[in-house]
Amino acid sequence: MNSAWLDIVVRTLLGSTLVMAQAIMLNWLRVPFAAITLFAGIAAYATVAGVTPVIVILFVVTVGFLVLVRPLPRDRYLLLSLASLALARSIAGSLRGYGGELGMATSTTWIAAQVPKSAMPYAIALFLSAFLVLLLLRHSEMGLAVDVARAAGTEMHAASMSPTGILTAIMLALVAVLASLTGAVQGAYTGWIDPNLFRIDYAITLLVATLVIGRMPVRGTLLAMSFFLFPDLFSQFFGYDHTVSAHLREIFWGAAIIFLAGRTGSPVRGEA
């Protein structure tokens, strides 16, 4: 397999991992969390800023999101998660030591930049971890408890049948770890970090994919992978400009969401 194909695979695996991680919060716990790229972006800066300060920041951000789950209404929580991206982007842009608005190159000893083979083991491990979590949520007794915790958002009596707070904390911590590790690998593999890691439109793109995959582990994972594969495959086979393909992907998925949301028993309505 040539390097171009390996590059597609690595990026697909990392993107899918982020989508699956976000699905744990959004589709499983029904927490309107749309800032998975915040964790990934902050962790990407660890490649140049050092691990310790980034872990502290990630911990503070995780606790902040956790504390606000219960008091904030769903729509405000969603806005908060998007606003935090805008804030992070501005802060990153103002950090001259890290390249400011233009960003800077990264260099790590564990992954060689733009060398897919060096990033592949990490990408596979993270992808499989996220997939395993989804499988466990779907089929284990723990997943049943998460199911009940999700209902507790709208049904008061369900709150007494599942340790909602503890489960939310565990899930958010898990998501933060998965997203952060994925972000660090992405930062090291691309060899560049800049404030665009916190772009809201990128977060919206992942949000769309998250909504589509629902709560079906296998089908959802395949859908997430196809989401990231499509533009590259399209470019490879039809020779289209990569950016145009990405737009076509958005059109395709937009239509798919409208179709799925309109159907009873769809992943969006019936599962999420």
Partner 1 sequence: MTDNPLKPKWEICADGACKRYGENVLFRNLHFCLSPGRAVRIDGWNGSGKTQLLYALCGLVAIDAGRITIKEETTAALLGSPYVRDKICRFIPASPSGLTHLSVGEFFHVVSRSLRPYSLVPRSRAAKQTFARFRPMLEEATGRVLDPRMRVSELSIGQQKRLMLSATVYCENPPNVLAIDEPLAALDAGGVRTTIRILQEARGRGMALAIAEHQTQIEAIGFDETITMPFGIQCKEVNPQSEKVEAVTPLPINLWGGLTLRNVDAGYPGCRVFCEHFELGPSEVAHLSGENGSGKTGLLKALLGIAPAALIGGLQFGGNSMIDLSKAMQRAEVRYMSQSRDSFSSLSVADAMRVASSSNAACDPVLLESIASIDKNKRVSDLSSGNLALLSLAQTLAVSPRLAILDEPFANVDGANVVKMAAMIAHARQEFGTAFLIVEHGKMDWTGMAHYKVELEGNRTRLRRES
Residue 161 sits in the site that holds partner 1 (CB under 8 A): yes
DSSP reduced 3-state for 246: helix
Q: How is residue 99 written in tokens?
A: 């390249």
Q: Which range in 5-13, 26-34, 137-145, 235-243 contacts partner 1 by CB under 8 A?
A: 137-145
Residue 218 sits in the site that holds partner 1 (CB under 8 A): no
The string of DSSP letters for 205-245 reads HHHHHHHHHTT-HHHHHHHHHHHHHHHHHHHHHH---HHHH
- Pick from 4, 91, 142, 255: which binds partner 1 (CB under 8 A)? 142
- Pick from 90, 140, 238, 247: which binds partner 1 (CB under 8 A)? 140
Residue 174 sits in the site that holds partner 1 (CB under 8 A): no
Shortest Cβ 134–partner 1 spacing (Å): 13
Q: Which is nearer to partner 1, 70 or 117 (CB)?
A: 70
Q: Which of residues 67-106 bind partner 1 (CB under 8 A)?
A: none
- Pick from 22, 47, 164, 168: which binds partner 1 (CB under 8 A)? 164
Q: Which range in 57-65, 122-130, 150-158, 179-187 contacts partner 1 by CB under 8 A?
A: 150-158
CA distance 90 to 71: 26
CA distance 162 to 146: 8
CA distance 4 to 236: 10
Residue positions counted in the chain: 272
- Pick from 157, 201, 237, 239: which binds partner 1 (CB under 8 A)? 157
Angle at 264 between CA 259 and CA 266, to 5 degrees: 60
Q: Which is nearer to partner 1, 149 or 229 (CB)?
A: 149
Q: Assign residue 65 a region: left if phi > 0, alpha if psi is -120 to 50, beta otherwise?
A: alpha
Q: Which is nearer to partner 1, 3 or 140 (CB)?
A: 140
Closest CA to 162 of 144, 143, 175, 149: 149
Residue 141 sits in the site that holds partner 1 (CB under 8 A): yes
Contact positions vs partner 1 (CB under 8 A): 136, 139-145, 147-148, 151-152, 154-165, 264
